[in-house]
Structure 1
Amino acid sequence: MDAPDVASVAKNAYGICAECIVRKRTVYGIVAADGRRYIWKQAAFGDTDERLQALARALEAYDRADVRAAAPLPKRDGRMLAECKDGNRGYLQPWLPGRHVQTASRDERLRAIAAVAKVQRAVQAAGYPEHRTLRRGSLYGKLRVKANAIAKLWPQAARELSQFAPFAVEAQARAERTIALYRANLEQTRSQWRQRATLCHRDLAPHNVLIDGDGNIALIDFDHAGYDDMYADPVQFISHTLFLNELRVPEYQEMWEVYAEHAALRRNELAILLGLAQWPDIWVRALAEWGKAEAEERHHAVAKVQYAVACERRRSELNKAVLAKLRLEA
């Protein structure tokens, strides 16, 4: 697929005359003759007209929170997916203004985590739109699959990564403990599940969060979005923030408190959320990357594992400190 193909699809399927097309990693940016801007995305696995239409309708709830979303746009015939000459399918979405959030900035990371809470509650206030169509697994299932995968991978990695063996045992125990506590909570709160279910992004890394010159937040790339436990998104975003920055206790605590405030969480709910925050996600991701690395890339992968261990030890210390300061027990 190339720029002329994108221009042809934009014209024929959407009635958009492309003035300029820019290749941006895995997507194409389109500047139309009237000055409007769009992104062409290749369809992900599982994308259908039904799913994309449902996603576009559900993301309308974001307007209630004054947060923009890069929602799929319909073609002239009302459907979503368009096909290129080479057979690849994709769709248009708005090219939103702004740049990626810089998590080193206190203001930006707090604006981002507050926006996450606001859109989650906005979707609930809108009546859980399209919840039947937008179901894509669960946080519990995702954690269980990752824990099983790492348990199988570590024996293969143990010889080359023997210096990390003590931490590997600790991390696996922490993962299993987090899952067990979370499962127990799910069983206890089954009747109130609707209070925590919402449309989650489920891939909430900082590169999927934009901020414009006025400090307005926007979310992009909803390939993995679906209804899930609302705690999935803040846990993921704050874990990425921890990976990218050496947060101190007050900074780490502030992120959880800002989310809790805008999500209207009670103290016991914040305790559950902080329990999930102990999930060793950075270690899991680093070990998985090591497993996929080619032989000549292994030394880089080992360095990432070493950094992940340092991050996870810092996470453990931060969590303990925050729980103590807030007088909570996860």
Structure 2
Amino acid sequence: MKQPHRSLVETVLHSNVHQMKPYRKNWCIETDHQKWIAKHVHPTWLRWWVQVDYELRLRGFTSMQPIRSDGGEWLFMPFIEGKTGRYSIREDVEKMVETLAIFHRLGRRLMTPPIDEAAFLLSERIADRLNQFYRVLQKVEQLEAPLRELLLAHGRDFYLDGLAAWERLRQLPLTRFSLKERRLHALSHRDLASHNWMVDKAGRVWLIDFETASYDAQIGDVWQMVSRILVENEWSEEWLRMFLVQYEKERLLSSFEKKVLSVLLAFPNEFMREAIGLAEQKRGYRLKYSLPYLHKIAECRSKWKSQSKQLFYW
């Protein structure tokens, strides 16, 4: 993991550096006055994000840490003293959902042009997830016993669920909608795992880790977050209702977005993502944690299917 030079850090932060140590794939830096997190990022993305960050703050979005940059490949943010967000704590989740909605509302029709590269939009990401999962199922006999047995028992059912949802998404059509959202410069975070939320000691919620952010269909963020919340809370209808009420306090979903969301929630993204991560031994996926999560999703499949059918009539 690349480490920033001490002289560069001191120049950017205008402070003496006392210690630099690895911290969650980044660097934690202690200076005379406070702690900072240093991230090594792609220069093209960094130039784009600095402009987007500036625009969001001008519009009033303050639930992200102030940033500093070396103008090249290093991004610095103050260290947040607090805890990682959890999608099982209702009080925190309500704040997170409201914050996401504000982020989306203020992050539409931004002036900053998109990065001139392939966008990998929501529709493409779903198709890619389905294809990756299919490839995992093709080599299921080569996997280790616990994951192999789980996928032999449930993999085909989840793949067919995903395929059916994808066909419905194509008919809506999701691809055209994703392209339209990109043309409208609709900002999407695109990685709303609970660890990308922080709750500080005062109870304030912060959205962090924007390296995946791009102009894309914002309903993808809604889907990502609500899917994880529902899995965490065993597909409780009450939690789904709470999410939508909190979100629409700040940003109303269009009727088309609600239709897209109803179909997206029938796509077993969480099961596929975790299974692919384990099968391909991706960084951050460990059998000890992911396998129980997969079993939990499989055990709730009938409840999830029933809930998905109800949402079809939105």
Paired residue for 2:56, among 54, 57, 62?
Answer: 62
- Report the alpha carbon displacement of residue 92 of structure 1 after superposing the two structures with TM: 2.0
Measure, in 1, the Cα distance between the counterparts of 2:77 and 2:215. Answer: 21
Match of 1:249 in 2: 237
Letter of the structure 2 residue corresponding to residue 51 of structure 1: W
Task: Please give the secondary structure, in 2, of the residue aligned with 1:203.
Answer: coil
Measure, in 2, the Cα distance between the counterparts of 1:191 and 1:237. Answer: 18
Match of 1:101 in 2: 85
- Report the alpha carbon displacement of residue 128 of structure 1 after superposing the two structures with TM: 4.6
Measure, in 1, the Cα distance between the counterparts of 2:53 and 2:275. Answer: 34
- Report the alpha carbon displacement of residue 178 of structure 1 after superposing the two structures with TM: 2.0
Q: Structure 2 regions of 5+ residues with no counterpart?
A: none
Match of 2:68 in 1: 73
CA contact 1:55–1:71 (8 Å) conserved in 2:
no
Letter of the structure 1 residue corresponding to residue 83 of structure 2: R
- Report the alpha carbon displacement of residue 163 of structure 1 after superposing the two structures with TM: 6.0
Task: Please give the secondary structure, in 1, of the residue aligned with 2:216.
Answer: strand
Superposed CA deviations along residues 80-108 of structure 1, whole A, max 9, x for unmatched, are 32xxxxxxxx4323334543222222121
- Report the alpha carbon displacement of residue 261 of structure 1 after superposing the two structures with TM: 4.1
Measure, in 2, the Cα distance between the counterparts of 1:56 and 1:305. Answer: 37
Task: Please give the secondary structure, in 2, of the residue aligned with 1:264.
Answer: coil
- Report the alpha carbon displacement of residue 302 of structure 1 after superposing the two structures with TM: 5.3
> Runs of 4+ in structure 1 displaced over 4 angstroms?
132-135, 162-166, 187-192, 297-304
Counterparts in 2 of 1:135 and 1:257: CA distance versus 1, 3 Å: farther
Do structure 1's residue 308 and structure 2's residue 297 form an aligned pair? Answer: yes
Task: Please give the secondary structure, in 2, of the residue aligned with 1:67.
Answer: coil
Measure, in 2, the Cα distance between the counterparts of 1:187 and 1:238. Answer: 18
Do structure 1's residue 144 and structure 2's residue 127 form an aligned pair? Answer: yes
**Stretch moving more, 97-106 or 191-200:** 191-200
CA contact 1:73–1:93 (8 Å) conserved in 2:
yes
Structure 2 length normalisation: TM-score?
A: 0.82
Q: Report matched runs for 1:116-135 at 5 Å.
A: 116-124=100-108, 127-133=110-116
Measure, in 2, the Cα distance between the counterparts of 1:163 and 1:134. Answer: 38
Counterparts in 2 of 1:8 and 1:115: CA distance versus 1, 3 Å: same
Measure, in 1, the Cα distance between the counterparts of 2:90 and 2:6. Answer: 40
Measure, in 1, the Cα distance between the counterparts of 2:240 and 2:229. Answer: 9
Match of 1:37 in 2: 35
- Report the alpha carbon displacement of residue 175 of structure 1 after superposing the two structures with TM: 1.2
Quote the RMSD (CA, aligned, Å). Answer: 3.3
Letter of the structure 2 residue corresponding to residue 155 of structure 1: Q
Paired residue for 2:190, among 187, 197, 202?
Answer: 202
Measure, in 2, the Cα distance between the counterparts of 1:231 and 1:203. Answer: 13
CA contact 1:54–1:133 (8 Å) conserved in 2:
no
- Report the alpha carbon displacement of residue 238 of structure 1 after superposing the two structures with TM: 1.9
- Report the alpha carbon displacement of residue 210 of structure 1 after superposing the two structures with TM: 1.6
- Report the alpha carbon displacement of residue 303 of structure 1 after superposing the two structures with TM: 4.7
Letter of the structure 1 residue corresponding to residue 163 of structure 2: E
Match of 1:222 in 2: 210
Measure, in 2, the Cα distance between the counterparts of 1:162 and 1:19. Answer: 50
Measure, in 2, the Cα distance between the counterparts of 1:18 and 1:110. Answer: 38
* Matched residue count: 305
Match of 1:289 in 2: 277
CA contact 1:65–1:119 (8 Å) conserved in 2:
no
Letter of the structure 2 residue corresponding to residue 31 of structure 1: E
**Stretch moving more, 183-192 or 144-153:** 183-192
Match of 1:175 in 2: 162
- Report the alpha carbon displacement of residue 226 of structure 1 after superposing the two structures with TM: 1.0
CA contact 1:283–1:308 (8 Å) conserved in 2:
yes
CA contact 2:80–2:200 (8 Å) conserved in 1:
no
Measure, in 1, the Cα distance between the counterparts of 2:91 and 2:272. Answer: 29
**Stretch moving more, 256-265 or 170-179:** 256-265
Structure 1 length normalisation: TM-score?
A: 0.78
Counterparts in 2 of 1:215 and 1:190: CA distance versus 1, 3 Å: same
Superposed CA deviations along residues 56-84 of structure 1, whole A, max 9, x for unmatched, are 21123433354332465222xxx232xxx
**Stretch moving more, 163-172 or 257-266:** 163-172
Match of 1:87 in 2: none
- Report the alpha carbon displacement of residue 119 of structure 1 after superposing the two structures with TM: 0.8
Q: Structure 1 regions of 5+ residues with no counterpart?
A: 82-89
- Report the alpha carbon displacement of residue 172 of structure 1 after superposing the two structures with TM: 1.6
Match of 2:75 in 1: 91
Match of 1:275 in 2: 263
Task: Please give the secondary structure, in 2, of the residue aligned with 1:246.
Answer: coil
- Report the alpha carbon displacement of residue 301 of structure 1 after superposing the two structures with TM: 6.3
CA contact 2:102–2:251 (8 Å) conserved in 1:
yes
Task: Please give the secondary structure, in 2, of the residue aligned with 1:39.
Answer: strand
